[in-house]
Amino acid sequence: MELKIIKIGGNVIENETALEAFITDFAAVKGPKILVHGGGKLATQLAEKIGIETTMVEGRRITDAETLKVITMVYGGFANKNIVAKLQGNGCNAIGLSGADGNAIQAIKRPVKTIDYGYVGDVTGISEQTIDALLKSGLTPVFCAITHDGNGQLFNTNADTIAATIAVGMSNIYNTALYYCFEKNGVMKDINNEDSVIEHINTENYPTLLAEKIVTEGMIPKLYNAFEALKQNVKKVCIGNTKMIVENSQQKHTTITL
């Protein structure tokens, strides 16, 4: 059976109309499914309001103790519960989780090489049996971008990485398909031209896209994670507009292959 792991980005969450449209489409997706959400933009806005500066390095947030509090409140609080409530309103029996809940996603502090990211976690494992028990009982897990180390420490983890790791872990039980949904139509040749979607990215054309800076910022972890997922048994990875998850959708998007 296919399990769909669908990730939505910060710009979708932040935009009331886009979020409502996505929720309707996600609720209508048939079969077992898991939603992973970010909320990076909302966290940056709240941090700014309370005088905490945000530093991003290659799409990842440097997370000090105060920033960790903000992201926990935003991702695990407002963003997660708002999405769960809206899904409930659309007949989808969602349950909101962080990686600490049910020990679902374990992580270690990202090792310091040239950069110390602070309380940023690299995922070490997921509890696929616990997640599967939720699926089997008819619930739809909704994960925010928070993990833990099993010793009481929460971590901020890139939501794209969480989605990929869940897809990899759950591939022990299901055929998994990973969808990265965001506000654009896919990975674009020209970021200002929605018609310039690159329909296929693979390990051959990717280095050029990276070198020519066609792929930058938040798209770097997304593609890194896409390749990692495919190498570890995930059957399908797509990047595109939320409309691509609609059954028989003709929406153009980017498909990643090895």
Ligand X SMILES: CC(=O)N[C@@H](CCC(=O)OP(=O)(O)O)C(=O)O
Ligand Y SMILES: Nc1ncnc2c1ncn2[C@@H]1O[C@H](COP(=O)(O)OP(=O)(O)O)[C@@H](O)[C@H]1O
- Site residues for ligand Y, window 49-68 (CB under 6 A)? 59
CA 164 to chain centre: 8
At CB < 8 A and 24+ separation, what contacts does 19-22 make?
Answer: 19/83, 19/86, 20/86, 21/242, 22/181, 22/242
Candidate list 68, 70, 144, 219; residue touching ligand Y; CB under 6 A: 219
Specify whether the CB–CB gap between 45 and 99 falls below 8 A: no
Counting contacts by CB under 6 A, is residue 35 touching ligand Y? no
- Measured from the CB atom, the residue of 76 and 218 that comes closer to ligand X is 218
- Binding-residue total with ligand Y (CB under 6 A): 19
Q: Which does 53 bind (CB under 5 to 8 A by kind): ligand X, ligand Y, none?
A: none
Annotated binding-site members for substrate: 39-40, 61, 156
Least distance (Å) from ligand Y to the CB of residue 151? 29
DSSP, collapsed to helix, strand or coil, labels residue 84 as helix
Strands of 154-156's sheet in order across: 121-126, 105-109, 146-148, 154-156
Counting contacts by CB under 6 A, is residue 218 touching ligand Y? yes
Q: Which does 178 bind (CB under 5 to 8 A by kind): ligand Y, ligand X, none?
A: none
DSSP, collapsed to helix, strand or coil, labels residue 179 as strand
State the residues that interact with ligand X by CB under 6 A.
9-10, 38-40, 43, 60-61, 71, 120, 145, 156-159, 218
Counting contacts by CB under 6 A, is residue 33 touching ligand Y? no
d(CA 83, CA 37) in angstroms, rounded, equals: 9
Least distance (Å) from ligand X to the CB of residue 185? 17
Least distance (Å) from ligand X to the CB of residue 8? 8
Q: Which does 61 bind (CB under 5 to 8 A by kind): ligand Y, ligand X, none?
A: ligand X
Neighbours of 12 (CB within 10 A): 22
Closest C-alpha to 237, from 226, 245, 248, 228: 226
Annotated binding-site members: 39-40, 61, 156
Specify whether the CB–CB gap between 121 and 157 falls below 8 A: yes
- Site residues for ligand Y, window 163-202 (CB under 6 A)? 182, 184, 187-188, 191
What Å distances lie between residue 56 and 44, 66, 118, 217, 225, CA to CA?
A: 10, 15, 12, 9, 18
Q: Give residue number: closest CB to ligand X.
A: 38
Q: Which does 240 bind (CB under 5 to 8 A by kind): ligand Y, ligand X, none?
A: none
Least distance (Å) from ligand X to the CB of residue 146? 8
> Can you give the binding site for ligand Y, defined by CB under 6 A?
9-11, 38, 40, 59, 160, 182, 184, 187-188, 191, 214-219, 222
